[in-house]
Amino acid sequence: MKQFRPKGTIVKKVNDTYYAYYATSKRVPDKKYPVQIIKGLAGRIDESGFHRLSKAFVDTGHVVVRECGFTNFLLRFEDEYISRRKEKVIERKNIYRSMIVYLSNNSYLNDDPGTTIYSVSEMTERFQVGIPNQITAISRICEYDLKELEPLKYICSVTMGNRMFQSELTDAQKALLERIGITENDIRW
């Protein structure tokens, strides 16, 4: 059953979409006809009827920003890194992911329940992992200087309450993605 627009609204077409606005009219001296006053958007109208405007409430008291571009690019080389180390596979995976977090502190891997992020001291004492050597190894595996990949660290997801937003790519980030041969979907969370 089609819903019809509420009483006291007018319809206006913007581009290819019809919108219903709350409106009233007011008599103005020296005018032959009343002047229309728009009070706000009521909803939109399409082939299936009227759709009331719904307000989205966002919890701005708890905002989480997590980097995903740099992390997801480096995760593409995780298997190769793991194949080069001697520890148990889960430890090799956690060492690699800890290195990613070391390189990008705001990585979403910080929140990954399946990953243990080791501190720098734990990596050096427990696994005898030299941080500069690991950075060099990662750079060789991915075949890029990690400084060149810095713009990927600003590709983020923002979560507010139960809503998630994606950061918009800059022209420099788009050019970098094209140069390294991946798409935006390859690095999104």
Q: Could you tell me if 136 and 158 lie in one domain? A: yes
Other residues' Cβ atoms within 10 Å of the Cβ of residue 152? 24
In a domain, 48, yes or no: yes
The residue ranking higher by pLDDT, 126 or 61, is 126
Structural domain boundaries, residue 25:
9-52
pTM more than 0.75? no
Q: Which whole number is the average pLDDT over 65-89?
A: 92
Residue 116 pLDDT exceeds 90: yes
Q: What is the pLDDT at residue 24?
A: 86
In a domain, 142, yes or no: yes
Q: What is the pLDDT at residue 94?
A: 94
Q: What is the pLDDT at residue 51?
A: 82
The residue ranking higher by pLDDT, 88 or 105, is 105
Q: Which whole number is the average pLDDT over 130-157?
A: 93
Q: Could you tell me if 174 and 85 lie in one domain? A: yes
In a domain, 150, yes or no: yes
Q: Which whole number is the average pLDDT over 56-80?
A: 88
Q: What is the pLDDT at residue 56?
A: 65
In whole angstroms, give the CA distance from residue 22 to residue 53: 11
Q: Could you tell me if 33 and 72 lie in one domain? A: no
Residue 1 — very low, low, confident or very high, per pLDDT cuts 50/70/90?
A: very low
Q: Which tokens hold the place of 123? A: 């990596």
Of the chain, the end-to-end C-alpha distance in Å amounts to 39
Q: Could you tell me if 74 and 144 lie in one domain? A: yes
In whole angstroms, give the CA distance from residue 49 to residue 45: 6
Length of the chain counted residue by residue: 189
Q: Count structural domains, the chain.
A: 2
In whole angstroms, give the CA distance from residue 118 to residue 95: 7
Q: Could you tell me if 37 and 72 lie in one domain? A: no
Q: What is the pLDDT at residue 97?
A: 96
Other residues' Cβ atoms within 10 Å of the Cβ of residue 89? 10
